[in-house]
């Protein structure tokens, strides 16, 4: 099934400015939660987890370590990489579903931590697609000339909302952060933003959500007793959605380009089986797909910037070649960003 809302929107020609990525940053907590430890907590096995998800370990925030702290660390690294001070950030966007508070926005807390009181900003609640949506938002503000520098942070402290008594979800998620500094291509000199797409479909909160704590079901003793402040997921429903959407996004994004122009697909690190199955359906060899889910698990909004950071560190972002980031998540939401590195 092809979703009609997956429509790549290329950068319009004309007076708009070209946009690039000037810097990348990341942060992962020190603590590693291995499959062996999970074997001791719930009825599961290393073999089951590796076979069904590809995950071997994930990082878990230290007690008291906040999402805003992790996001700030990734942000500072991205700014240093760009050679730009925090005082130059015009807009700070934070993609997360596990912010410090329901409100205020975690973007405000990150701006305070990095010393960017002049920046405007807000949080993006598009779950695992949040960074990709943030990147598109950043690109529009810069292309139109509204802002010079936009910092996009993807951060998650999923360990705070994962039920470590539920084997269906606790094996999947991890904590971490990634960040990217967007500015004009002229200043960035690399990572040109060529376009993107984003889509969503409502009425499917049952597939993946945090059932309580919002205004539909405010926190009560009963909601806590029913463990509704933890992630609930219909694994099979998500599996089918993720594979179909991945294939559709990649095929449509790359359709105008020749095979030899693609450098790397950097997908949301949802689950290795989903990534491999979608890659096969797109006819993509796995050496053109970046994977680091084995070490971090699924870090939702942090997953794409963290993968992009590691792909560059591994020398896999080839100058002149296309980099296609695709993401999909709760909502349901999805989107892609196409870059020329």
52 binds ligand ACO, rule: CB under 6 A: yes
CA dist., res. 284 & res. 290, Å (int): 11
The residue among 46 and 65 lying less far from ligand ACO, judged by its C-beta, is 46
Task: Classify 145 in phi/psi space as left (phi over 0), alpha (psi -120 to 50) or beta.
Answer: left
In the set 298, 324, 325, 336, the catalytic residue is 298
The residue among 116 and 326 lying less far from ligand ACO, judged by its C-beta, is 326
Asked about 128 being catalytic, the answer comes back as yes
Options 178-186, 236-244, 255-263, 304-312: segment touching ligand ACO (CB under 6 A): 236-244
239 binds ligand ACO, rule: CB under 6 A: yes
Q: Which of 3, 31, 46, 48 binds ligand ACO (CB under 6 A)?
A: 48
Q: Which of 238, 250, 279, 289 binds ligand ACO (CB under 6 A)?
A: 238
Half-sphere exposure of 245 (CA within 13 A, CB side): 29
164 binds ligand ACO, rule: CB under 6 A: no
CA dist., res. 290 & res. 312, Å (int): 10
Residues 240-259, interacting with ligand ACO (CB under 6 A): 242
In the set 26, 35, 268, 324, the catalytic residue is 268
- Please state the length of the chain: 341
Closest CA to 151 of 120, 194, 128: 120
Decide if 305 contacts 96 (C-beta within 8 A).
Answer: no
Q: Is the dihedral of CA 92, 332, 338, 283 positive or negative?
A: positive
217 binds ligand ACO, rule: CB under 6 A: no
Q: Which of 236, 255, 258, 285 binds ligand ACO (CB under 6 A)?
A: 236
Per rule CB under 6 A, count of chain residues that contact ligand ACO: 23
Strand 31-34 to 57-60 pairing: antiparallel
Asked about 268 being catalytic, the answer comes back as yes
216 binds ligand ACO, rule: CB under 6 A: no
Residues 175-214, interacting with ligand ACO (CB under 6 A): 208
Residues that bind ligand ACO (CB under 6 A): 44, 48-49, 52-53, 128, 167-168, 171-172, 208, 233, 235-236, 238-239, 242, 270-271, 274, 298, 328-329
Active site residues: 128, 268, 298
């Amino acid at each position: 099934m092809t979703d009609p809302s997956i429509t790549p929107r290329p950068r319009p020609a004309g007076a708009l400015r070209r946009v690039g990525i000037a810097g990348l940053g990341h942060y992962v907590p020190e603590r590693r939660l291995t499959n062996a430890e999970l074997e001791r907590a719930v009825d599961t096995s290393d073999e089951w987890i590796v076979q069904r998800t590809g995950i071997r370990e994930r990082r878990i925030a230290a007690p008291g370590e906040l999402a805003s702290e992790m996001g700030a660390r990734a942000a500072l690294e991205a700014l240093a990489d760009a050679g730009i001070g925090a005082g130059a950030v015009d807009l700070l966007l934070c993609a997360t579903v596990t912010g410090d508070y329901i409100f205020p926005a975690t973007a405000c807390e990150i701006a305070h931590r990095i010393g960017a009181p002049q920046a405007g900003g807000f949080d993006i609640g598009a779950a695992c697609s949040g960074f990709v949506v943030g990147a598109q938002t950043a690109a529009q503000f810069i292309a139109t000339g509204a802002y010079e520098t936009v910092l996009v942070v993807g951060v998650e402290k999923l360990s705070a909302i994962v039920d470590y008594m539920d084997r269906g979800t606790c094996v999947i998620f991890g904590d971490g952060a990634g960040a990217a500094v967007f500015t004009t291509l002229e200043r960035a000199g690399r990572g040109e933003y060529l376009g993107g797409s984003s889509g969503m479909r409502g009425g499917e909160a049952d597939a993946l959500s945090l059932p309580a704590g919002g205004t539909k079901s405010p926190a009560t003793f009963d909601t806590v007793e029913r463990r509704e402040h933890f992630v609930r997921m219909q694994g099979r429903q998500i599996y089918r959605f993720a594979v179909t959407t991945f294939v559709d996004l990649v095929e449509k994004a790359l359709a105008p380009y020749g095979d030899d122009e693609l450098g790397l697909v950097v997908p949301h690190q949802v689950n290795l089986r989903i990534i491999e199955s979608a890659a096969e359906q797109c006819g993509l060899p796995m050496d053109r797909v970046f994977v680091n889910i084995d070490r971090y698990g699924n870090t939702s909004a942090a997953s794409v910037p963290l993968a992009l950071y590691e792909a560059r560190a591994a020398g896999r972002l080839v100058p002149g070649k296309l980099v296609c980031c695709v993401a999909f998540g709760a909502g349901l939401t999805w989107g892609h960003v196409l870059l020329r590195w």
